[in-house]
C-alpha cells in the first residue's frame, strides 16, 4: 500500500506541469534576455542614485524612483509602506596606520563597521592582540586584553564551495567582536574584512553591541585583507607594534522611510499572495549594485516580465522592496507585521539577495510536500542550466513571514565572486553582467509563474490523510 | 531478459566508483582552492608575457616559460614538440571613420581580422552596404556590391542560454564574409564584433579567404558593437554614408614554434595516454587570459594537483599546451600526427578553451558506453555544483585525435561573460576570478583522476555482446 501510494504521489507529482509551461518559460527567458528592464533600472539606481543606507538621501531617492517606475508598469496597486529606520552615518573617512616604532608608520585601509561608535576625536592608539575567534578572548582574559585593540583575523574558509558558508563561518567576528571584546576591557576592535580575495578594500557590515551600555561601547572597524595580512605579519615580528585608528561615525535618531510595494491582483485567488523582493537599502561604501540593487530590479522585472509574457496571474503577485535589511531589518519585520494585522494569506515568498550573478537555482524553506512539488518542476529549468533545488535558508527580509505554511525561497546565483564586492566600495554597477542579471530575473519569474499557476496543493499530505 | 540486463548494466555502472573517490576528489578541490597554482601562473603569463599570437615574441616567451614551469614540477618527461606556424602581424593600429557628408566624420573602433590583408597604404573609402547574412550577398549581386564595403551586422542571438551557440550562429560572417564578398566585387568587409554586449571593443578573430588568389583578397575588419549600431543607424538615415578604413597587417613567412608537453608516466598502463590541455597562443589585442591562458594554466595544474593530492596515476597523464589554435590549428594537427606516427594509444583527451569562469561541467564526444560510464560519476561532482554532463563538442586542439575510440571532452564553464572578452583588448588578467579558475582546474583534475583510475571499460558494449 505504501508503495502504491508512493507511486501515486510520484505520478501526481510528475504531472504537475504541462508542455505549455515549457513554452511559457521559454517566452519568459527570451523576453528577459532580449527585452529585460532589470539592467537599465539597476544602472539608474546605481549610477544616478548610488548608495542607499537607511535614512540617507540615497535611500529616500531610491524609494521615490522605484515607486515611480512601478507606477509606469500598469500594476493594479502601488504603495509605500511606512517604517521608521535607524540612521547611522559614517562621517568623515576613517584613518588608520600601523606604528612599527615611534615615528615609523604605515597607512592601512579600514572602514567603520555599521553601528559602531566613533573613536575619541583624537583617535585611538594601542597595542594589538591578534585572535582567531571570539572564544579566544575568554582564554586571554582581561589581563591580556585590557587597554588593547583586538584584531580578529580568522579568514574565510576558501575550501567552501558555497562562499556563503565561508561567510557564515566567519561573520561572528564582525557581528559580535566588539560586544565580546568590551567585556575584557579592550579599547577597540579591528576585523579582517569578510572577503575571500586578497585586496585593498575594507568591507563594512553591521556590528551589534547587544545590551552593552552606550558609554561602554568600543569602536570597531574592518581592515582590508591585504592589510590584515600585513598587520599579522608585523605582529609576528614584533608584538609591540601599535595600531592607530580614528573614525567619526554616529547613530542619529530614527527617521521615516518606506517599503516600496506593487502588486498585480490575482484574477482567481486574489487573497493568496505571492511576494517577490529584495532590499532597497545598501551599505554606504559602493553603490550596492549586487547587494541588493540587483535583487530589487530583478524583482521589479518579475511583475513586468509576467505582463510582457502575456501571463495574467491567478493569485496576487506582489513585488516588495524592503527597507533596512542591512542594519535593522525594520522593513522585513514591518511588512510581516502589517500582513498579519490585515489577515493576509501569503503562500510563497521569494527573495533575491545573493548578488546579480548567473543563477544556479533556489533554496527552499518549506514543508516536504511543497518541496517535492517544486522538485517536480526542476526539469523545466534544466534548459536554462538551473540545477540547484535544495532545502535551506531563503532571505532575511522574507524570514519574518514564516508561519509554518508559507513557502520561502531564495534565489541562489553563483557565489564565487559575491564576497569580492560585498559591503565594499567596489560593489558597483561595472561589476554587473547584464545577461547574468537578466537570467536571474527570468529564473525568478518562471518559478513565480509556476507557483501562481498551480499553488501548493500539498498532494503528499493529502495522500497521507487518505491513508 | 532485456530488463535484467538493463538492471545489471545499471548496477555495474552504479558501482563504478567508491567512497574513497569522493574523498580524493574533496582533496583535489581543497588543494586547488587553498594551494592552487593556476592563478599565479596565469598572472605571469598575462602580465609578464602578455599576448601570444603565433610567431610572436610573446608566444616564444610563453613556450619557454611554461616549459620551465613544467620542469619544476618533477614530471617524468617534459619536452617541446616542434611545429611550423603562420605569422600574421597587425602592424600599426587600424584607423576608421564614418563620413556622413564630405568633411564630416566620426571615428569608429575597428581592428583587422586575423589573416586579413592590409588596405592600400592610403586606406579605402567607399559606400557601405549593410547585410545580415552571407546569403544576402547573392541576392544583392555584383550590381549592388561592386566597389562597396560590405557591412555584416547580424548580431549574436541574445536568447541563447549557451553563448557559444550564439557565437556559432554568427561567426560565418567573420570567417567567410571577406571570401564571399570578394566574389561580387566588394572592396572591403566590416563585421560586427562577435560580442553580446554593446561596448567599444572591436573583437578580432580569423577570417579565411579559402582559395581566393592573394591579389584578389579584400581587407576585412571587425567593428565594435556600439559602432556597428551607430553605422547601421546612420545608414538608415542616409544610404550614401561612407566608411573609411586603413589597416596595415601582413602575412609573413611561417616560423618555428612548439607545443609544450609534460607527462607523468603511468605506473601500470604507461602506454594508455590521457591528454589534458589548452592552447598557448592567443590573439594579439588583450593578453589572452581567458582565451586561453586560463586553459593552459588549469591544465598545468591538473598534473600538479594530482601530485599534490598524492595520486600516482596508473596511466600516462600528459599536459599539452598547443600552439596556433587561433589562426592555423598547426599545433593540434601536429600533435595528432606525431601520436599516430608513434602508434600512441590515447584513451582520453580533455581541453579547457572556454574561459576561466565557474565550471558547470563537461561536454563529451564519445561512444554511448563511455558516456554512460562517465554519467555514473556525475554524483561525485554534485558537491562542487558541477551538473552539466552532456554529449557535444570537445576542443579544437584535441579534435584531430578523434579516431573512433578516444573519448574527447571539453570543460564547460559558465558562458555568460565569455564573449565580453573573446579576442578583444579587454581579455586581460583582471577579468579572471581566482576561485573560478581554481574550481575549473579542480574539476578537470577530478575527471582525469577518475578516467585514470577506471579507464574506459565499455561495460554496456560487453553486456550487449553477451546478449
Please report which confidence band the pLDDT of residue A16 belongs to, taking 50, 70 and 90 as the band edges: low
Chain A partners within 8 Å of B383 (Cβ): 161
**What span, in angstroms and rounded, lies between the C-alpha atoms of B56 and A177?**
55
Strand partners, A273: A316, A346
Q: Chain A partners of B414 at a C-beta cutoff of 8 Å?
A: 358, 414
Rounded to a whole number of angstroms, the distance from the CA of B230 to the nearest CA of chain A is 19
Name the residue in chain B with its Cα closest to that of A384.
B161
In chain A, what residues touch B356 (CB-CB under 8 Å)? Answer: none
Average confidence (pLDDT) over B422-436: 98
**Which residue in A414, A418, A437 has the most chain B C-beta atoms within 10 A of its own C-beta, making it the best mutation to test that interface?**
A414
Do B358 and A29 lie within an 8 Å CB cutoff? no
Contacting residues of B for A34, CB less than 8 Å apart: 158-159
Q: B32, B155, B159: which to substitute to probe chain A, counting the most A Cβ within 10 Å?
A: B159
Answer whether B358 sits within 8 Å of A414, measured CB to CB: yes
Chain B residue with Cα closest to A433? B417
A162 chain-B contacts, CB cut-off 8 A: 385
pLDDT band (50, 70, 90) for residue A19:
confident
- Give B327 to chain A, closest Cα distance, Å: 29
- Please indicate whether, in this complex, the C-beta atoms of A384 and B161 are within 8 angstroms of each other: yes
Whether residue B464 is predicted with pLDDT greater than 90 in this model: the reply is no
What mean pLDDT comes out for the span A62-81? 98
Band of pLDDT at residue B458, cut at 50, 70 and 90: low
- Give me the mean pLDDT over the A35-61 stretch: 98
List residues in chain A touching B: CB distance below 8 A: 29-30, 33-34, 158-159, 161-163, 196-197, 358, 360, 383-385, 387-388, 414, 416-417, 420, 433-436, 439
A8 pLDDT above the threshold of 90 = no
pLDDT per residue over B178-208, tens digit each?
A: 999 999 999 999 999 999 999 999 999 999 9
pLDDT at A251 over 50: yes
Q: How far is B415 from chain A (nearest CA, A)?
A: 10
Whole-number Å distance between alpha carbons of A145 and B233: 69
Question: Do the chains contact at A435 and B383, CB–CB below 8 Å?
Answer: no
Across the interface, do B161 and A388 touch by the CB < 8 Å criterion?
Answer: no
Answer yes or no: is pLDDT of A464 > 50: no
Q: Which active-site residues of B does the annotation give?
A: 325
Q: Where are the domains of chain B?
A: 2-87+253-465, 91-248
Distance CA A72, CA A143 (A): 63
Minimal Cβ distance to B33: which of A159, A162, A420: A159
Give per-residue pLDDT as tens, B16-47: 678 899 999 999 999 999 999 999 999 999 99
For residue A360, which residues of chain B lie inside 8 Å, CB to CB?
385
Instruction: Tell me if A159 and B29 make a contact (CB, 8 A cut-off).
Output: yes
Residues of A identified as active-site = 325
Interface mutation vs chain A, best among B389, B434, B439, B446, most A CBs within 10 Å? B434
| Average pLDDT rounded to a whole number, residues B221-233 | 98
Asked if the Cβ–Cβ distance from B158 to A420 is below 8 Å, we say no
Tell the residue number behind the cell numbers 543563477, with chain if given: A359
Instruction: Please name the fold of domain A91-248.
Output: Glucose Oxidase; domain 1 (3.50.30)
Nearest chain B residue to A436 by CA distance is B416
Q: What is the mean pLDDT of chain A?
A: 95
Task: Tell if the pTM clears 0.90, that is, is over it.
Answer: yes
Contact list in A for residue B433 (CB cut-off 8 A) is 416-417, 420
Structure ipTM: 0.94
List the single residue in A158, A358, A387 with the smallest CB-CB distance to B416: A358
- % of chain B residues with pLDDT over 90: 94
Average pLDDT over residues A70-94: 98
> CB distance B161–A416 less than 8 Å?
no
A376-383 contacts: CB < 8 A, separation 24 or more?
A376/A13, A376/A14, A376/A16, A376/A17, A377/A16, A377/A17, A377/A21, A377/A447, A377/A450, A380/A17, A380/A21, A380/A22, A380/A25, A380/A446, A380/A450, A381/A25, A381/A443, A381/A446, A383/A26, A383/B161
Query: What residues are paired with B273 via a beta bridge?
Result: B316, B346
Chain B nearest-CA distance from A121, in A, is: 39
Looking at the complex, report in whole angstroms how far the Cα of residue B54 sits from the nearest Cα belonging to chain A. 31
C-beta atoms surrounding B169 within 10 Å: 13
Instruction: Give the one of A161, A197, A439 whose C-beta lies nearest to B383's C-beta.
Output: A161
Nearest neighbour of A158 by CB, restricted to B34, B161, B420: B34
pLDDT (tens digit, 9 = 90+) per residue, A349-400?
Answer: 999 999 999 999 999 999 999 999 999 999 999 999 999 999 999 999 999 9
**What homologous superfamily is domain B2-87+253-465 in, according to CATH?**
Zn peptidases (3.40.630.10)
What is the least distance, in Å, from the CA of B81 to any CA of chain A?
A: 37
| Mutation for testing the A interface, residue in B379, B386, B414 having most A CBs under 10 Å | B414
Pairing mode, strands A345-351 and A269-279 = parallel
Q: Do B161 and A29 touch (CB under 8 A)?
A: yes
Instruction: Indicate yes or no: CB of A29 within 8 angstroms of CB of B385.
Output: no
- Residues in CB range of A224: below 8 A, 6 or more apart: A108, A109, A110, A193, A195, A199, A200, A201, A202
How far from B359 is each of B333, B349, B381, CA to CA, in Å? 27, 17, 11
Whether B453 shows a pLDDT value over 80: the answer reads yes
Query: How is domain A2-87+254-466 classified at the CATH fold level?
Result: Aminopeptidase (3.40.630)
Interface probe for B, chosen from A35, A36, A161 (most Cβ of B below 10 Å), is: A161
pLDDT reading at B389 higher than 70: yes
Do B242 and B125 meet the contact criterion of CB atoms below 8 Å apart?
Answer: yes
In B, which residues are within 8 Å of A436 by CB distance? 416-417
Tell me the shortest Cα–Cα distance from A156 to chain B, in angstroms: 11
Mean pLDDT on B303-327: 98
Scanning every residue of chain B, which has its alpha carbon at the shortest distance from the alpha carbon of A420? B433
Contact A161 B416 (CB under 8 A): no
pLDDT in tens, A291-314: 999 999 999 999 999 999 999 999
Q: How far apart are CA A367 and CA A390, in angstroms?
A: 12
Q: pLDDT band at A347, cuts 50/70/90? A: very high
Distance (Å, whole) CA B432 – CA B451 = 28
Size of interface A-B (CB pairs under 8 A): 63
The two domains B2-87+253-465 and B91-248 share their CATH topology (first three levels equal): no
Rg value, chain B, Cα: 24
Q: Do A435 and B414 touch (CB under 8 A)?
A: no
Other beta carbons within 10 Å of B308: 18
Question: Does the pLDDT of residue B372 top 70, yes or no?
Answer: yes
| pLDDT at position B456 over 90 | yes
Question: How large is the average pLDDT for residues A259-264?
Answer: 98
pLDDT band at A130 (very low <50, low <70, confident <90, very high): very high
CA angle A212, A216, A219 (to 5 degrees): 95
Q: How far apart, in whole angstroms, are the C-alpha atoms of residue A160 and residue A171? A: 15
Write the Ramachandran bin of B9: left for phi over 0, alpha for psi from -120 to 50, otherwise beta.
alpha
pLDDT of residue B17: 77
Amino acid at each position: 500500500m505504501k508503495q502504491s501510494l508512493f507511486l501515486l504521489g510520484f505520478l501526481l507529482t510528475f504531472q504537475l506541469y504541462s508542455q505549455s509551461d515549457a513554452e511559457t518559460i521559454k517566452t519568459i527567458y527570451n523576453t528577459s534576455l532580449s527585452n529585460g528592464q532589470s539592467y537599465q533600472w539597476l544602472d539608474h539606481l546605481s549610477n544616478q542614485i548610488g548608495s542607499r543606507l537607511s535614512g540617507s538621501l540615497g535611500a529616500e531617492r531610491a524609494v521615490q524612483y522605484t515607486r515611480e517606475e512601478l507606477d509606469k508598469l500598469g500594476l493594479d496597486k502601488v504603495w509605500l509602506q511606512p517604517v521608521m529606520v535607524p540612521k547611522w552615518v559614517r562621517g568623515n573617512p576613517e584613518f588608520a596606520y600601523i606604528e612599527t616604532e615611534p615615528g615609523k608608520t604605515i597607512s592601512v585601509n579600514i572602514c567603520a563597521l555599521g553601528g559602531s561608535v566613533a573613536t575619541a576625536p583624537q583617535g585611538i592608539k594601542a597595542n594589538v592582540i591578534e585572535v582567531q575567534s571570539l572564544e579566544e578572548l575568554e582564554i586571554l582574559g582581561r589581563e591580556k586584553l585590557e587597554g588593547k585593540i583586538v584584531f580578529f583575523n580568522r579568514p574565510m574558509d576558501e575550501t567552501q564551495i558555497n562562499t556563503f558558508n565561508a561567510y557564515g563561518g566567519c561573520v561572528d567576528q564582525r557581528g559580535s567582536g566588539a560586544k565580546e571584546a568590551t567585556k575584557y576591557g579592550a579599547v577597540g576592535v579591528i576585523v579582517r574584512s569578510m572577503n575571500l580575495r586578497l585586496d585593498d578594500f575594507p568591507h563594512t557590515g553591521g556590528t551589534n553591541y547587544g545590551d552593552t551600555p552606550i558609554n561602554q561601547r568600543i569602536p570597531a572597524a574592518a581592515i582590508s585583507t591585504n592589510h590584515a595580512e600585513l598587520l599579522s605579519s608585523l605582529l609576528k615580528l614584533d608584538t609591540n607594534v601599535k595600531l592607530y585608528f580614528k573614525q567619526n561615525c554616529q547613530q542619529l535618531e530614527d527617521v521615516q522611510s518606506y517599503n516600496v510595494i506593487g502588486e498585480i491582483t490575482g484574477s482567481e485567488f486574489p487573497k493568496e499572495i505571492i511576494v517577490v523582493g529584495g532590499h532597497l537599502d545598501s551599505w554606504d561604501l559602493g553603490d550596492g549594485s549586487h547587494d541588493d540593487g540587483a535583487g530589487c530590479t530583478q524583482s521589479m522585472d518579475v511583475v513586468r516580465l509576467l505582463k510582457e509574457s502575456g501571463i495574467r496571474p491567478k493569485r496576487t503577485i506582489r513585488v516588495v522592496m524592503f527597507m533596512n535589511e542591512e542594519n535593522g531589518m525594520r522593513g522585513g519585520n514591518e511588512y510581516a507585521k502589517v500582513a498579519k494585522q490585515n489577515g493576509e494569506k501569503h503562500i510563497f515568498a521569494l527573495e533575491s539577495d545573493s548578488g546579480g550573478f548567473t543563477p544556479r537555482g533556489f533554496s527552499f524553506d518549506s514543508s516536504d510536500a511543497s518541496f517535492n512539488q517544486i522538485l517536480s518542476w526542476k526539469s523545466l529549468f534544466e534548459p536554462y542550466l538551473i540545477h540547484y533545488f535544495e532545502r535551506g535558508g531563503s532571505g532575511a527580509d522574507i524570514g519574518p513571514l514564516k508561519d509554518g505554511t508559507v513557502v520561502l525561497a531564495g534565489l541562489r546565483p553563483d557565489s564565487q565572486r559575491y564576497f569580492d564586492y560585498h559591503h565594499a566600495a567596489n560593489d558597483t554597477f561595472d561589476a554587473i553582467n547584464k545577461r547574468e542579471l537578466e537570467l536571474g530575473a527570468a529564473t525568478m519569474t518562471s518559478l513565480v509563474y509556476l507557483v501562481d499557476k498551480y499553488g501548493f496543493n500539498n498532494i503528499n499530505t493529502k495522500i497521507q490523510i487518505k491513508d
